[in-house]
Amino acid sequence: MNRLFLLLFSMLFYGLFSCNSTGKSTGTVPPVEKTDSCQLDPKNTYEVYIPKRSAPADKLPLLVIIDSHGSGKFALDKFKQGANQYPAVLIASNLIKNGFEDYERAISVLIEDVRQKYPVGKTVFMTGFSGGARMASGYALFHPVNGLILCGALANADQITALHCPVISISGMDDFNFVETAQYLFQEQSIPGNLKIELTNASHNWPDSLMLANALGLLRFSCNDVGIVSLPVSQLKAYCQNQLSGINSLKQQENYLNAELVARNMALTEPFNRDKTFAETYAALKNHPDYINQLNRVEKCLQLEMSLRQPYLDDFQTKDSLWWKNEIRTTDEKIKKERDSFARNMYKRIKGFWGIASYTLCKQAVKEQNAEALNRVLSVYLMLEPENPDMFYFSSFPYYWKGNSVATLSMLKKALKSGFTDRSQLDKDFPESITSKLHYSLSR
């Protein structure tokens, strides 16, 4: 009898222990990272990242990421730090990229697919880089979006105001698109009330993960949607303290321009503006002589830069490669030796402008099948960006037009190995006799 009693007791104890252990194991949901595709459009593929959650039923905000080159995995990795700190489901499109005409429909299909499959609430944030930023803001003009992080490009004031959600602009001071953000720096009354500006030196690239995490944190804390997991008050306090520390660090580095912008963002945004320190810091910084001096230097450099853009465009048509070689070398020396950071950033922006002008003029020459114009621009493009995949891609056309398939394939291989990813454009530009040989040679 005693043995039977002990056996029953041990079975009961084991059962209770097993139930409790199972409950604990399902209490925390591990992170998920995968590639998925839309049920309504299998070509519409996307990368997914879901951070660790405390419970399976937890609903998180959705952050839709649009990279200008459709590099979903690369862009997604930039935001994982932010998603882990300020939980959000990350979705990065592999399909939508520069020149994708039906992007609004593709984004709508993507969001609907995600809502059917993953633990997201109604809150939708969007972010994009360069052309991706333009598509993100374009989509948000006609669809409900709760916040935008726009990197490397920005809409005009009327469009920003019409968005009716927080818009965070992160712009490189050495980015050729800097002027799109800089216009809002000089007259405070011209800044749309929903626009938050941060500056970096990322050139024309995605900002670093820490800056993107701070931007996501701002959107998460300022969003009042009750349908998603809320962030603890202790984390809000830590966020505010980190921002104050960041402002003080920028001041110590004598970077008063960036310090003033961070203080402004916090002073004019709920719930951060409950801490009066931000308003006091903002008021002090915008009247600080060093801030005023830095702003004036930025304005002076921008005025010079903009006065040079049209003449440089004309120089693509009128100056030979020797002249360009000297101009590029002189500008590189100025970037290397210039001690004033504002002037140095101006020279970097000018060089970046040459690069985007080369891309645009090459694209136009290909469309017109103008070999002379294409070769003239390519001679500059090669000196500017000798490893640029688009430059290699455009370089294949003169050979293709001459019927030199060997040289055409060689250039296309260089383009793909250097990072050219637009296979659909390649298949559109070249016949199957070329593309099939290219794909076969790369698969060997």
- Do 143 and 174 belong together in one domain? yes
Give me the pLDDT at residue 224, please.
Answer: 80
**Each residue of 214-265: pLDDT tens digit?**
999 999 999 887 778 889 999 999 999 999 999 999 999 999 999 999 999 9
pLDDT at 429 over 70: yes
In a domain, 318, yes or no: yes
- Do 58 and 168 belong together in one domain? yes
In a domain, 3, yes or no: no
- Do 64 and 202 belong together in one domain? yes
pLDDT at 21 over 80: no
In a domain, 401, yes or no: yes
Contact of 391 with 378, CB cutoff 8 Å: yes
Range of the domain at 213: 32-229
Overall number of domains in the chain: 3
- Do 137 and 60 belong together in one domain? yes
Give me the pLDDT at residue 232, please.
Answer: 92
Give me the pLDDT at residue 124, please.
Answer: 97
Terminal C-alpha separation, the chain: 74
- Do 177 and 276 belong together in one domain? no
pLDDT at 366 over 90: yes
The residues that bridge with 129 in the sheet, in sequence order, are: 151
In a domain, 8, yes or no: no
Give me the pLDDT at residue 190, please.
Answer: 84
- Final residue of a structural domain among 184, 205, 229: 229
- Do 317 and 271 belong together in one domain? no
pLDDT at 49 over 80: yes
- Do 313 and 423 belong together in one domain? yes
In a domain, 51, yes or no: yes
Contact of 356 with 176, CB cutoff 8 Å: yes
Reported as type and span, the H/E element at residue 119 is none
**114: domain CATH number?**
3.40.50.1820
- Do 79 and 164 belong together in one domain? yes
What average pLDDT score do residues 127-143 get? 96
- Do 188 and 250 belong together in one domain? no
What average pLDDT score do residues 328-332 get? 98
In a domain, 298, yes or no: no
Buried-state track 293-314, b at ≥16 Cβ within 10 A, e below 16: ebbebbeebbeebeeebeeeee
CA contacts within 13 A on the Cβ side of 236: 16
Helix residue ranges per DSSP H, 147-186: 157-162, 178-182
236 φ/ψ angles, rounded to the nearest 5 degrees:
-60, -45
In a domain, 302, yes or no: no
**Each residue of 333-362: pLDDT tens digit?**
999 999 999 999 999 999 999 999 999 999
**Each residue of 274-311: pLDDT tens digit?**
999 999 999 999 999 999 999 999 999 999 999 999 99
What average pLDDT does the structure give for the chain? 91
Q: Which residues contact 132 (CB under 8 A, 6 or more apart)?
A: 65, 66, 67, 68, 75, 96, 97, 98
- Final residue of a structural domain among 194, 229, 264: 229
- Do 222 and 238 belong together in one domain? no
pLDDT at 17 over 50: no
Contact of 247 with 265, CB cutoff 8 Å: no
The amino acid that residue 318 corresponds to is: T
- Do 100 and 140 belong together in one domain? yes
206 φ/ψ angles, rounded to the nearest 5 degrees:
-60, 140
**338: domain CATH number?**
1.25.40
Name the band, by pLDDT with cuts 50, 70 and 90, for residue 129.
very high
pLDDT at 22 over 80: no
- Do 161 and 254 belong together in one domain? no
Give me the pLDDT at residue 14, please.
Answer: 40
